[in-house]
């Protein structure tokens, strides 16, 4: 069983959903983001998403755009991001790590080489925002051979006819983009999620995580209880950015402040348990 499948099945046995915090690699520098990555499981992260900085993040709002720019300025490369995950794996064999990013750095690195190196580094899955299933043949075979999950996005605009097609290309879990929009802007209501998640569930046996617009502990608890997990990104990056000094460097407050927020999110997610389907 993969780390992703095992983690979701263990959490299901515990009767709760997953908290999936996001960090942008190399934001604001390699050392700080690696320290954050290493500390996240103890703070309550069940799975972790690591953003691969890209120059043109066209599906992201201003907060993640700025994080990507800071990461690139700090020297992030795809090889460097994989190196970070390797370093994390030295101390953590169980927490699933999912890379999230855009396709061009991966295409430039080479799909086959990427899949092999990612798995060797300890990466469990990858979300490539701008690589829909229509274009995914370039990565599907090497990913399968290497044992890397390709996590698929499903959006509110995904039509019922299309849903089955998208899900037939998914592995690991399904990432439900809860709003039609970019990251860090709007938030879906609990009612929206209660209407949408059962439709996705009906079409797949994979776990379903909700992302885009999940900000508060209450929202995270709600999303993780209606679905199988909640991805929290922009709000954590906002918090991180708020602790940087005038030159954009990390301060003593950076790690504790972000980790405390992850702790609060985790507490809420754990307390909420699971809604009966």
- Per CB under 8 A, residues contacting another protein are 54-61, 65, 72, 77-79, 102-109, 129-132, 134-135, 152-159, 162, 166, 177, 180-182, 185-186
117 is catalytic: no
Sheet holding 125-128, edge to edge: 149-150, 125-128, 97-101, 48-51, 18-24, 229-232, 208-211, 174-177, 152-154
- SS3 state of residue 24: strand
Shortest distance, position 130 Cβ to another protein, whole Å: 5
Q: Output 181 or 273, the one with its CB closest to another protein.
A: 181
Shortest distance, position 107 Cβ to another protein, whole Å: 6
Q: Output 57 or 122, the one with its CB closest to another protein.
A: 57
Which residue in the list 27, 60, 228, 238 is annotated as catalytic? 60
Q: Output 72 or 264, the one with its CB closest to another protein.
A: 72
How many whole angstroms separate alpha carbon 238 and alpha carbon 271?
A: 25
Shortest distance, position 78 Cβ to another protein, whole Å: 6
51 burial via Cβ count (<10 Å: 0-12, 13-18, 19+): buried
60 is catalytic: yes
In the block, residue with structure tokens 């922009």: 234
Contact of 165 with 133, CB cutoff 8 Å: yes
Shortest distance, position 67 Cβ to another protein, whole Å: 13
Indicate which residues carry an active-site annotation. 49, 60
């Amino acid at each position: 069983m993969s780390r992703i499948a095992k983690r979701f099945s263990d959490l299901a046995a515990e009767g709760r959903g997953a908290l999936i915090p996001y960090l942008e690699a190399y934001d604001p520098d390699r050392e700080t983001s690696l320290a954050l990555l290493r500390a996240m499981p103890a703070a309550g992260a069940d799975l972790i998403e690591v953003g691969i900085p890209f120059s043109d993040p066209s599906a992201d709002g201003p907060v993640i755009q700025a994080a990507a720019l800071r990461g690139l300025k700090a020297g992030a490369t795809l090889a460097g991001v994989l190196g970070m995950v390797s370093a994390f794996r030295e101390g953590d064999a169980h927490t699933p790590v999912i890379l999230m990013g855009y396709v061009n750095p991966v295409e430039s690195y080479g799909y086959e080489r990427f899949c092999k190196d990612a798995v060797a580094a300890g990466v469990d899955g990858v979300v490539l925002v701008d690589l829909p299933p229509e274009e995914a043949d370039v990565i599907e075979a090497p990913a399968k051979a290497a044992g890397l999950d390709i996590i698929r996005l499903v959006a509110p605009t995904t039509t019922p006819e299309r849903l089955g097609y998208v899900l037939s290309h998914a592995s690991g879990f399904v990432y439900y983009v809860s709003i039609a929009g970019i990251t860090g802007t709007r938030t879906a209501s609990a009612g929206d999620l209660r209407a949408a998640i059962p439709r996705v569930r009906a079409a797949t046996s994979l776990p379903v995580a909700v992302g885009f617009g999940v900000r508060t502990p209450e929202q995270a608890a709600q999303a993780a209880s209606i679905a199988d997990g909640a991805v929290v990104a922009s709000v954590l990056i906002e918090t991180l950015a708020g602790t940087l000094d005038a030159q954009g460097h990390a301060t003593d407050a950076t790690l504790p402040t972000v980790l405390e927020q992850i702790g609060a999110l985790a507490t809420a997610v754990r307390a909420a348990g699971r809604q009966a389907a």
